[in-house]
Amino acid sequence: MEERKEAQKHQLGASKIPRILQHCSLSLFFFTIFTPIQAFDYAEALEKSLLYFESQRSGRLPYNQRITWRDHSGLTDGLEQAVDLVGGYYDAGDHVKFGLPMAFTVTMLSWGAIEYWQQIADADELEHTMEAIKWGTDYFIKAHTSPNVLWAEVGDGDTDHYCWQRPEDMTTSRQAYKIDEKSPGSDLAAETAAAMAAASIVFRKTNPHYSHLLLHHAQQLFEFGDKYRGKYDASVGVVKSYYASVSGYMDELLWAAMWLYKATDKEEYFDYVISKAHSFGGTGWAIREFSWDVKYAGLQLIASKFLNEEKHKKHSDILEQYKSKAEYYICSCLNKNKGDNNVERTPAGLLYIRQWNNMQYVSTATFLLTVYSDFLRNTNQNLSCNGGILSHEEILSFVKSQVDYILGSNPLNMSYLVGYGPKFPQRVHHRGASIVSYREHKGFIGCTQGYDNWYSREGRNPNILVGALVGGPDNEDNFEDQRENYMQTEACTYNTAPLVGVFAKLLEIENKKLFHDSNSLLVSSF
């Protein structure tokens, strides 16, 4: 019983006391007497968001695994192809390892760590963030078996979806698929390069050898993707029904070049972003979404930040074009574009892109908006949209409204971050979470047995998928908590990944406000 209580404590997490407040307990005593408790605990949300990635691990789990209802799985991945492909992440509620969304997940975790390193460290979550990143990059190193070969996928969605099993019981195909010179996949190679380049920045100080290794792979992958061009879903046909590359590969090539420039400071990569800005759509596409498939808005935002650096003044005309497209995205999210060029919202104000897994677009938007708000603040600028002026405070306030909606400030009082708050989805569309834990019941649960005995159960899932951000409500703020309602109740790694940095930033703001208010109260009380 005690072990079970301890496991539950680790799964659900306990809110940490932020460091900034540890030395002002007296101030807090006076402060909490007169002030309502803050509505949302961003420290808890941050902690739980990182726990989710441990639920999604494939391979041999480490000794410090905190999600105790999971066990080892996929230990023979790659065996048929005589390559070690053990590890990495399952992308969602199934057990296929899809390379493109996995790489984007790692890119976003790394970008969050780069932007909000200190804020994550202050919340005592830096080690867990780096572990989440490294679990992905360790796999990418394995999957990149030679300069022009990258293993793109393990398993296939069609056979996987016939079964409802725990990952520990998998009987579905573990066929592996690769891209190479004859079967190219520029989008996948470039996104993996971006992930490894971004991660190399994260590990530069703490693990320089590993950082160098990641950078070496990133440079090779970019060269491979650029030299042998083609869409990866044309080479790996089994992925088309699940993660087809609708935007093509040009956005990923620009994106990878940008991250390699940030990681190396080599002009050849920056020149690539400038010289191909028009032909690859970087300065042409005005986009209202940012996702595992469409990278333009993120690319445009990073490019626009270079305008303030003296050494890039000679390219200011191209960078201004990038900036105008980045600002189109920001303005569309804030409803400040004229006409019908804004992102739709639900009646309660949530950004709404499309019916299937809408929360992925909300989380990526909150991240880009937070980064741009910081940029405006640091450069003492406002944003001029054709529908009005926006300050960095207004942008950040909107970010907070979206995050608070996710955490429970919505018509259903439902937290869409699983395991957070008193009310959250209980029937997440997730094989492992919906079946009794392998640690409790090691008896084999077969393919159809899982459907018969667990998928169709009315009750809540036996395991809580802590930190998972589900697909979320429809365009009228309605949500049906049913396992078969996968458009709303399935969660994905790339949903949660952008929130890690955002939670850390909002936590810092709340801590500063709390610290300031408590000190003001102390001064006035004496």
Q: How many helices (H) and strands (E) does the chain have?
A: 21, 7
pLDDT at 456 over 70: yes
pLDDT at 37 over 80: no
Average pLDDT of span 336-350: 94
The overall average pLDDT reported for the chain is 91
Among 3-17, 91-105, 314-328, 501-515, whose mean pLDDT is lowest? 3-17
Distance CA 324, CA 327 (A): 5
Q: Give the residue among 95, 203, 211 at the shortest CA–CA distance from 155.
A: 95
Give pLDDT tens digits for 472-509: 999 999 999 999 999 999 999 999 999 999 999 999 99
pLDDT for 55: 98
Distance CA 254, CA 291 (A): 15
pLDDT for 512: 87
Q: How confident is the model at residue 248 (pLDDT cuts 50, 70, 90)?
A: very high
Q: What sections of 334-464 are H helices per DSSP?
A: 359-378, 392-407, 431-434, 447-450
pLDDT for 515: 65
Which positions are annotated as active-site residues? Answer: 94, 429, 481, 490
Give pLDDT tens digits for 420-433: 999 999 999 999 99
Q: Give the residue among 117, 67, 110 at the shortest CA–CA distance from 90.
A: 67
Choice between 23 and 71, residue whose per-residue pLDDT is larger: 71
pLDDT at 12 over 70: no
pLDDT for 339: 84
Identify the burial level of 182 via C-beta atoms within 10 angstroms of its C-beta, where 0-12 means exposed, 13-18 middle and 19 or more buried: exposed
Portion of the chain with pLDDT greater than 90, in percent: 86
pLDDT for 310: 87
**pTM (2 d.p.):** 0.91
Q: Looking at residue 451, what DSSP letter applies?
A: I
pLDDT at 16 over 80: no
Q: Are 285 and 276 in contact (CB under 8 A)?
A: no
Q: How confident is the model at residue 308 (pLDDT cuts 50, 70, 90)?
A: confident
Q: How confident is the model at residue 197 (pLDDT cuts 50, 70, 90)?
A: very high
pLDDT at 38 over 50: no
